[in-house]
Amino acid sequence: MTNGIDIQKRTIGVNFPDNQLAHICLWAPLTEKVTVSVCDKNTPVELSKNKYGYWTGTTDVLRPGDLYQFILNEQLARPDPASLAQPGGPHGPSMALSLRDFGWTDQTWNNIDLSDYIFYELHTGTFSPEGTFQGIEQRLDYLKTLGITAIEIMPVAQFPGARNWGYDGVFPFAVQHEYGGVRALQQLVDTCHRKGLAVVLDVVYNHIGPEGNYLTDFGPYFTSKHCTPWGDAINFDDAGSDGVRQYVIDNVLMWFRDFHIDALRLDAVHAIKDLSPVHILRDIRYHVDRLMEQTGNRHYLIVESDLNDPLLIDQPSVNGYGMDAQWIDEFHHSLRVTAGGERKGYYADFEGLTHLAKSYQDAYVYEGQYSPHRQKAFGRRAERNPGQQFVVFSQNHDQVGNQMLGERSAHLFGFEMAKLLAGAVLVSPFLPLLFMGEEWAESNPFLYFVSHTDADLAAKVREGRKKEFADFHGHDDFPDPVAEETFTRSKLQWDLLAEEPHRTMLRYYRQLIRLRKEHPALRSTNRWQLHIAVNEVANTIQLHRWHSGQHVRCLMNFSMKTQTVSLAEPAATWHKLVDSAAPDWMGPAAAPDTLTAPAVVDLQPQSLLIYQNHV
């Protein structure tokens, strides 16, 4: 037990530590009386008030599978804030479950090194026709063959309706019922480990969704001391914040301990407001470290942040928060502008090729210089952080789905450029992430969708989305986020795997991933063993990486014309590893299989060439 939190077991909510009696613990400092009403049973369970606003009780009336609610002050019926299951949605009663019942078979599983993570981000509802955890499980062999080492699942906390990205979750401990619930998620993780795949879960601690959010009936979960894009901030540092912090830390520990999740991706941590002496992220790090000490298992904490502040990923020994890695949107933004994307909104900050080269070297593009979009100096240099602390991508759920029409890269930039973008990510000294379907140039979009059951809220979401894109396209093009059709249009089309050019794109991705795994200079995340030559006139980059005597040259042409590139140093014979413009990949022409430096090579439009040698 540390700071009131039990590392070894879940203590809040309803739990069955001995599989006999239900142990109930509720944080409700705003109430004067709390009872538990078990559906179809006429015996209410009265809870006792303890210190710091906690209510507790032990009973044999409530059993696994029973539906129950808390009755606050003898009048207000509410589901459990720490519910594990909401079969009737966020407005219905909670279902009691035991997390101890699942028969794990992954005792020999060892989480892989973070430097070997190749992420595959997916949305459970649209990844498979079934839209369930079982649908994912049935396609794990496909992901293994692709070369993926870690699947990253978008949030699964219970949200209203059956269609949502997951960031509107209102029960952080409850697994979305329509996806299969607790048991199906545990089964998926167990199967992943049996097949050698790590599992990353996306979690949201910067806000709680609007529909079905009953937390304020229990306690001061939010504070007006800070404002976020979603309204009042989650209360991590105001009066009553101890209970909120325990709620979140218990949630983190549950995913690692009881679901065997390997890593968490914490959404938009820049929107977490905390002026406590110990920031909540640092507190989470402390408790996860204690868990790992007890179990011997490794777990990673990965954050999304747009702060460009290495404080988040610096080690606690140098007063950092100790997060293991972070997403780097600036690599994506630079890459997209280099590919020909419009410089609108936050993309206006990025100059394309020179900023892409800077991100290859420094991860952050902005390290204290003036940002026109932000209208201020922004960022701080990450000097001591290795490449494995940065996750990069050419596509993800945000960068695809937050466009009005949800277009993917192959649709926006074409087949040849899509191949180049994939290569640009996979040859980086950072951790690569793929977004589901990009590996076969999926033609369906990934749109923004919700299924709020509150009609007024659904209307507000629809109008807000329209307003956001008022100057973009015609209103006739606008996909209604509430319509079921918007959701179904976002589903992957697995039948495309048998068709061209999708089949070739998939082979190409498999080849790139295989090369990254097999060649030390590409697999290494040492971002200091790297040299970049940029030709702004020709719009080409030459990336030179080396490790353990192996050197690779990654030649990238982002222009629409054939460009001539020189290989001057070191003097050696270079052997071709991959050529995106080769006819094998439906390209226009192949480059020579070998080159002897000094040499020149014609680099086809929108193409990638990789050569290697040993010196």
Residue type, 560: M
Q: Does residue 48 lie within any of the structural domains?
A: yes
Q: Does residue 398 lie within any of the structural domains?
A: yes
- Mark whether 349 and 443 lie in a shared domain: yes
pLDDT for 1: 40
pLDDT for 472: 55
pLDDT for 471: 54
Interatomic CA distance for residues 357 and 359, integer angstroms = 5
- Mark whether 71 and 119 lie in a shared domain: no
DSSP 23-47: EEEEE-TT-S-EEEEETT----EEP
Catalytically annotated residue among 202, 211, 250, 267? 267
- Does position 343 have pLDDT exceeding 70, yes or no? yes
- Mark whether 278 and 359 lie in a shared domain: yes
pLDDT for 18: 82
Q: Is 193 assigned to a binding site?
A: no
Number of structural domains in the chain: 3
pLDDT digits (tens, 9 = 90+) for 206-261: 999 999 999 999 999 999 999 999 999 999 999 999 999 999 999 999 999 999 99
Q: Does residue 101 lie within any of the structural domains?
A: no
pLDDT for 477: 74
- Does position 474 have pLDDT exceeding 70, yes or no? no
Q: Is 267 assigned to a binding site?
A: yes
Q: Is 330 assigned to a binding site?
A: yes
Contact assessment for residue 174 and residue 85, using Cβ atoms and an 8 Å cutoff: yes
pLDDT for 615: 61
- Mark whether 178 and 310 lie in a shared domain: yes
- Does position 2 have pLDDT exceeding 50, yes or no? no
- Does position 512 have pLDDT exceeding 60, yes or no? yes
Q: Is 418 assigned to a binding site?
A: no
CA of 474: how far to CAs of 42, 398, 404, 467, in Å?
Answer: 58, 22, 11, 12
Q: Does residue 524 lie within any of the structural domains?
A: no
- Mark whether 345 and 414 lie in a shared domain: yes
Residue type, 548: S
- Identify the band that residue 465 occupies on the pLDDT scale cut at 50, 70 and 90: confident
Structure tokens at 602: 């014609």
- Mark whether 209 and 347 lie in a shared domain: yes
Q: Is 373 assigned to a binding site?
A: no
As a three-state string, the secondary structure of 545-606 is EEECCEEEEEEEECCCCCEEEEECCCCCEEEEEEECCCHHHCCCCCCCCEEECCEEEEECCC
Contact assessment for residue 240 and residue 219, using Cβ atoms and an 8 Å cutoff: yes
Q: Is 361 assigned to a binding site?
A: no
Interatomic CA distance for residues 571 and 98, integer angstroms = 65
Least confident of 337-341, 344-348, 524-528, 554-558: 344-348
Could you give the percent of the chain with pLDDT greater than 70? 98
Q: Does residue 237 lie within any of the structural domains?
A: no
pLDDT for 598: 87
Average pLDDT, the chain: 95
CATH number of domain containing 299: 3.20.20.80
Residue that finishes a domain, picked among 449, 470, 505: 505
Q: Does residue 526 lie within any of the structural domains?
A: no
- Mark whether 489 and 558 lie in a shared domain: no
Residue that finishes a domain, picked among 505, 540, 561: 505
Q: Is 269 assigned to a binding site?
A: yes
Contact assessment for residue 60 and residue 18, using Cβ atoms and an 8 Å cutoff: no
Contact assessment for residue 131 and residue 125, using Cβ atoms and an 8 Å cutoff: yes
- Mark whether 274 and 366 lie in a shared domain: yes
Least confident of 93-97, 124-128, 380-384, 461-465: 461-465
pLDDT for 201: 98
| Mean pLDDT within 441-458 | 94
267 catalytic per annotation: yes
User: Taking the chain, what is the end-to-end CA distance rounded to the nearest angstrom?
Assistant: 55
- Mark whether 121 and 49 lie in a shared domain: no
Q: Is 531 assigned to a binding site?
A: no
274 catalytic per annotation: no
pLDDT for 412: 95
Q: Does residue 523 lie within any of the structural domains?
A: no
- Identify the band that residue 345 occupies on the pLDDT scale cut at 50, 70 and 90: confident
- Does position 555 have pLDDT exceeding 90, yes or no? yes
- Mark whether 457 and 370 lie in a shared domain: yes
- Identify the band that residue 3 occupies on the pLDDT scale cut at 50, 70 and 90: low
Catalytically annotated residue among 304, 306, 314, 442? 304
pLDDT for 475: 53
- Of 390, 386, 388, 414, nearest to 332 by C-alpha is 390
Which domain does 316 fall in, by range? 114-215+242-505
Could you give the percent of the chain with pLDDT greater than 90? 89
Q: Which run of H or of E encompasses 201?
A: strand 198-203
Contact assessment for residue 611 and residue 575, using Cβ atoms and an 8 Å cutoff: yes
**114 Cβ neighbours under 8 A, 6+ residues apart:** 263, 300, 324, 325, 388, 431
Q: Are strands 67-72 and 34-38 parallel, antiparallel or unpaired?
A: antiparallel
pTM over 0.75: yes
CATH number of domain containing 85: 2.60.40.10
- Mark whether 285 and 365 lie in a shared domain: yes
Q: Is 545 assigned to a binding site?
A: no
Q: Is 265 assigned to a binding site?
A: yes
Q: Does residue 149 lie within any of the structural domains?
A: yes
Angle at which helices 241-258 and 280-295 pack, to 10 degrees? 40
Q: Is 452 assigned to a binding site?
A: no
- Mark whether 403 and 538 lie in a shared domain: no
Q: Is 299 assigned to a binding site?
A: no
Neighbouring C-alpha atoms within 13 Å toward the C-beta of 107? 3
CATH number of domain containing 541: 2.60.40.1180
Q: Which run of H or of E encompasses 252?
A: helix 241-258
Residue that finishes a domain, picked among 464, 489, 505: 505
- Does position 569 have pLDDT exceeding 80, yes or no? no
| Mean pLDDT within 472-483 | 75
